[in-house]
Amino acid sequence: MIRVALVDDQALFRAGIRMLVDSQPDLEVVGEASDGREGVAMVRATAPDVVLMDIRMPVMDGLAATAELLTDPRAEGTPSPRIVMLTTFDLDEAAARAIRQGASGFLLKDADPEFLLAAIRTVHSGSAVIAASATRELFERFSDAVARPVPAAYLELTEREREIFALAARGLSNAEIAAREFLSEATVKTHISRILTKLGLRDRVQLVVFAFEHDLA
C-alpha cells in the first residue's frame, strides 16, 4: 500500500484528491494539512511515502515545507518522502526551485485523474521522472546558475553508463533508451540504478537536475 499525504490550502481540492486516491486498492491517504507548517508536522507524524504539496499556501509555502522535510535531521537514517509539487502554472519558477531542493517532480492541479494516480505510483517506484521534458524546460527557462565543475563520481561512470545517463537526462523513458541502445528494459533499469547509486542521487528527477547543473546534457 502506498501511503499518500495531501498538503493544500483548498479543502475542496483536498477532498477530491482524497476521494480519488482512496478509491484505488494500492493507495491510501494517511493525512491532510492546509498549510506548510501543518504539513511538516503531519508528515513527520504519519510518515507517508508520497506527499502532494501545493506550492503557494499561507503560513508556510510549499517550498519552505519541502526544504524543511528533506533536510530534517530527525529523519536521518530513514527514507524521506517523495514530494510532488502541485502548481497551477505550466512553467513555474517555484516548481524548478522545489525540484532543485529535492522534490521528485511537479504536477498541474488540473491534471487528469489517471495521470495523477500514475504519477503517485511512478514517483513511489523511483523508476521515472514526471514530465522530464517539462522539468528540463523549467531549468532552461529559469536557471541563471553557472555550470558547476563535473564531480569525480561522474568521471567514474563507464562509457555505457554515460550514454544512458545522457539519454535519461534528456527525459527518455527506459523503453526509449532500450530501443536506442539495443538493450532490454531490465538492463536499462539496472544501469539507471547503478548510475543513481554512483552519483548519490535519489531518483531520475535528481539525475535531470544533476545533468543540467553540470552542463552534461
- pLDDT score recorded for residue 141: 64
**Confidence bin at 157 (pLDDT 50/70/90):** very high
- pLDDT score recorded for residue 137: 66
- pLDDT score recorded for residue 112: 85
- pLDDT of 147 above 70: no
> Which residues neighbour 191 within 8 Å (Cβ) at sequence distance 6 or greater?
160, 161, 164, 183
**Confidence bin at 209 (pLDDT 50/70/90):** confident
> Using CA atoms, how far apart are residues 145 and 139, in angstroms rounded to an integer?
10
Q: What is the dihedral of CA 48, 188, 147, 90, to 10 degrees?
A: -50
> Using CA atoms, how far apart are residues 64 and 174, in angstroms rounded to an integer?
33
Using an 8 Å Cβ cutoff, are 210 and 199 in contact? Answer: yes
Angle between helices 93-101 and 62-70 (to 10 degrees): 10
Using an 8 Å Cβ cutoff, are 32 and 5 in contact? Answer: yes
CA angle 116, 58, 32 (to 5 degrees): 45
Over range 34-63, report the average pLDDT.
91
Using an 8 Å Cβ cutoff, are 62 and 85 in contact? Answer: yes
- pLDDT score recorded for residue 136: 63
> Which residues neighbour 41 within 8 Å (Cβ) at sequence distance 6 or greater?
33
> Which residues neighbour 140 within 8 Å (Cβ) at sequence distance 6 or greater?
212
Burial class, 5, CB count within 10 angstroms (exposed 0-12 / middle 13-18 / buried 19+)? buried
Using an 8 Å Cβ cutoff, are 72 and 100 in contact? Answer: no
Residue-wise pLDDT tens digits, 170-191: 878 888 899 999 999 999 999 9
- pLDDT score recorded for residue 130: 61
- pLDDT of 33 above 90: yes
More confident site: 151 or 25:
25
**Confidence bin at 65 (pLDDT 50/70/90):** very high
Q: What is the dihedral of CA 121, 125, 127, 132, to 10 degrees?
A: 40
Residue-wise pLDDT tens digits, 71-121: 765 555 566 788 988 888 766 677 777 777 778 888 888 888 888 898 899
